[in-house]
Every structure is written in structure tokens, then in C-alpha cells.
Amino acid sequence: MDEFQVWLNCLVIFCVIWACLWLQQQYVKYQREQEFKKYTYYPINGQYRHYFPKKKGQRKNAKQSPQKQQKCYPQSKTESPKKNEPELKLDFQEYIKIHEYVSKNLLISKKNLQKLGFPYYERKNLKSVKINPTKYNRAKKMWVAEGEKKRICCRCQMKFRVDWNGKNANEKCVHHPLRKVFDEATFQDKHPCCNRNIGKPGCITNNLHVFDQLCVSVLKDFTVAPEVADIFELKSVAIFAFDCEMVYTDQGPALARLSVVDWFGKLFLDVRVRPSGILLDPNTRFSGLTARDVENAQDTSETCREKLFEIINQDSILVGHSLECDLKALRLSHNRIVDTSLLFQTGRNKPSLRYLAQSILGKSIQEDRKNKFGHDSEEDARTCIELLRYYIENNS
Ligand SMILES: [Zn+2]
Ligand SMILES: [Zn+2]
């Protein structure tokens, strides 16, 4: 066999290997697309919408000046939702474009995640996460040492001691359930729950104080989503919005419900969680859950996290409103985050989800209705994804 033939054989073998790899890639891509197609047939508010800019050249920097963003609010009421727009199915290629846009322009940088109070791992200590105080909670004592009995009630601000089961005997918690708001008629701050002025005694009396402080040992309970198993995994291009509901236990605030909604607004996961501690208050007004709901829940926070890890990996994009609280509740550290409270922030303080839903999407959420009380994590998660879609439509 001469030298030429040896080279030719090598070339043929190389080409065959290359072709096999290419075919395999195409096959996985095809599989991923098929999988994607299975769950795209869920309409958004009864219809599909074209949620991506048509002209690529017109893209602007995602970081808009506050003035530019402020302009969005009055426009929004007339512009969204467009009910008569023709139905458009979103295909895989288009979805990938959206995913690329979000990854490039809207994710919070790692440095900012740390600054904003998201849980993160430092290279020198991979056993426990670090959570920096933010300007919103700096004044509060958020963490207590192990064995520490002193707590501050997050409703009436009373200092108290927890006994062996985390409860506090012989003391009533008199408080206002709703935070003060500025009353334009009298130019004074008022509690909207009872219309009383600031400083007046609370309008609700509970038997127990509740607290939102957590023991520092909790920082060791955190984890990260599974690593990317293969580059064609559909999870890697997932955009999920999620929201958690919390209840008060003797160990502090605890996860009681997790709702995950995909880009199309489809509910992907809705898990009720039974907290490991003793339930002190189901926080029905805000969680929408009753004590019975919590006690009858089938999942623990561990099984809830396992269910979440079946649908996300470290590359998945998570969307939410003040997501640092939800991640803290889930004991999860994640780097690819879009936060609607920052996306639409114009002033010093973060806008509430309820305000954004009303002013931008023209829908009212978190209202007490017949047979429904308090927040609904499914509705909140869906609102986040709708806000993100609105943002992409108007800012890209
Ligand atoms: Zn209290
Ligand atoms: Zn009140």
C-alpha cells in the first residue's frame, strides 16, 4: 500500500466519523424540536402572539434610560392587550431567537446578583451560600445564630423569645395586616386595612407572633440546579417564570407552594409543600393558603426541589418578581435570572407586581375575590412572563 492510499483511507475514515457526528447532532436537534412542539400549543390569553421584533437592525441596548421606560406606562393601557391581532404560532427557531435575546440583554450580571441579595457561592467556601443585605432589608436583622431565642415579630415589631417549639406564650400580636400607604385626601400615611393613621393600635389580634428571621445554618441547605447533561438538552433553552408562597413556621418563613409557568404561560409545575417546622400561621392573606392546605400538602421542600430539577438545569433562565426571595425559600442559587421588578424599575424603589400588572398589562391581580383569597403563585408567575414578553416587544 503506498503512502497516497494510506492518506486516502485516513481521509475517508475522518469523513465518516464527521458525518456520523453531524447526523447525530441533527438528530438531537430534531428530537429537541419535536419535544418543544409538544408544549407550544397553549394559547396566551386565548391566542398566540408574535413576540419578537421583526427587524434585527432596530434592536437597541436593553438598558434604557429611566425616562424612556417611564414613557411605557401611559402607552401600555392602549397598546396591550391587542385582542384583534391575528393568531401566530411561535416556532422553535423563533423561540430560540427570543431565548438568545433574553440571554444577551436581560440577564442580571453575577456582580449585580450578589449586590441585590441573591444567594451565591464564593469560590473559597462552596459549602454554604452568601446572601448580602440589600438596601431594602439592611436595617432588619435577617439572620439569627443557632440556639438564639430572641426574635422580632415581623407584624407588630415586638421583640420576643421563642420557647421550645418556636412559639411564644402569653403574648398577643396586635398589628395592621397591610403596610402604610400615602392617602392623597389627607396627605398622611394610613393603614389601608382599617384606614387608621400611623401609630394607632393594630386592627387585628393574633395569638402568636411570627418572624421572618432564619437561622444561619440554613445557608448550608442551599444547592444549585443540575449541570447541563448535553448541549441539546431542551432544559438549556427553557425560560421559566416562577413564584413561591410562604407560610410562617417556628423556623421562620417556609416554602408552602411553588408554581412554574413556561414562556407560553402554561403552568408547568404547581407543588404544595408541607414545611418541616411547626406551622405558626399560614399567612392566608398573602399566601392564599389555609392551614388545611399546608397540612394536607404531599411534598416536602426536598421533593419540590427535585421536581423543579426535572425541568431546569444550570442554563435555564428563571424569571420572577424579586426572585431573590423565592430562591431563598427554595434554597436555590442560580445565575441566569431575569427580574421584572428591575426590568421596570424607574425610581428608587422596586415597583410591585400588582402595580405593574395594572399599569402595563391592564389586569388586576392579588385581589381578594369570591372563593379566592390572597396571592396566587400561578397567577403571579404568569404575570411575570407576560411582563417579560411586553418588555421584549417594546424595548428590543
Ligand atoms: Zn407580633
Ligand atoms: Zn389596620
pLDDT range class, residue 46, cuts 50, 70, 90: very low
Closest ligand relative to 155 C-alpha: 1
Closest ligand relative to 151 C-alpha: 1
Model confidence pLDDT, tens digit, residues 114-154: 999 999 999 888 889 999 998 888 878 889 998 888 888 88
**Predicted pLDDT of residue 235:** 84
**Predicted pLDDT of residue 81:** 42
d(CA 194, ligand 2 centre) in Å:
4
- Answer yes or no: is pLDDT of 78 > 90: no
Per DSSP, the three-state class of 113 is helix
Residue 147 is classified by DSSP as T
Q: Judge contact between 113 and 335, C-beta under 8 A.
A: yes
Closest ligand relative to 204 C-alpha: 2
Q: What is the mean pLDDT of residues 221-234?
A: 84
Residue 109 is classified by DSSP as P
d(CA 293, ligand 1 centre) in Å:
23
pLDDT range class, residue 256, cuts 50, 70, 90: very high
Q: Which residues of 268-306 are buried (b: 16+ CB within 10 A; e: fewer)?
A: bbebbbbbeeebbbbbbebbbbeeebbeebebebeebbe
d(CA 175, ligand 1 centre) in Å:
7
Model confidence pLDDT, tens digit, residues 195-206: 888 888 888 888
pTM greater than 0.85 (yes/no): no
Closest ligand relative to 202 C-alpha: 2
d(CA 381, ligand 1 centre) in Å:
30
> Helix/strand/coil (H, E, C) string of 201-258?
CCCEEECCCCCCCEEHHHHHHCEECCCCCCCCCHHHHCEEEEEEEEEEECCEEEEEEE
d(CA 311, ligand 2 centre) in Å:
42
**Predicted pLDDT of residue 190:** 86
Model confidence pLDDT, tens digit, residues 277-290: 889 899 888 888 88
Q: Judge contact between 33 and 92, C-beta under 8 A.
A: yes
DSSP string, 285-338: HHH---HHHHHH--B-HHHHHHHHHTT--TT-EEEESSHHHHHHHHTEE-S-EE
- Answer yes or no: is pLDDT of 52 > 70: no
Q: What is the mean pLDDT of residues 93-122?
A: 91
pLDDT range class, residue 38, cuts 50, 70, 90: low
d(CA 216, ligand 1 centre) in Å:
22
Q: Judge contact between 353 and 384, C-beta under 8 A.
A: yes
Q: Which residue has the cell 431573590?
A: 324
Distance CA 219, CA 182 (A): 37
Average pLDDT, the chain: 80
Of 182-196, 301-315, 360-374, the range with the lowest mean pLDDT is 360-374
| Nearest one of 131, 350, 326 to 242, comparing CA atoms | 326
**Predicted pLDDT of residue 181:** 81
Domain spans of the chain? 1-38, 96-133+219-395, 143-211
d(CA 396, ligand 2 centre) in Å:
43
d(CA 277, ligand 1 centre) in Å:
19
d(CA 205, ligand 1 centre) in Å:
9
Closest ligand relative to 206 C-alpha: 1
Closest ligand relative to 176 C-alpha: 2
pLDDT range class, residue 1, cuts 50, 70, 90: low
d(CA 142, ligand 2 centre) in Å:
25
Element (H, E) at 386: helix 377-395
Q: For residue 277, which phi and psi values (nearest 5 degrees)?
A: -80, 180
Residue scoring higher pLDDT (67 or 213): 213
Distance CA 205, CA 263 (A): 42
Homologous superfamily of 96-133+219-395: Ribonuclease H-like superfamily/Ribonuclease H (3.30.420.10)
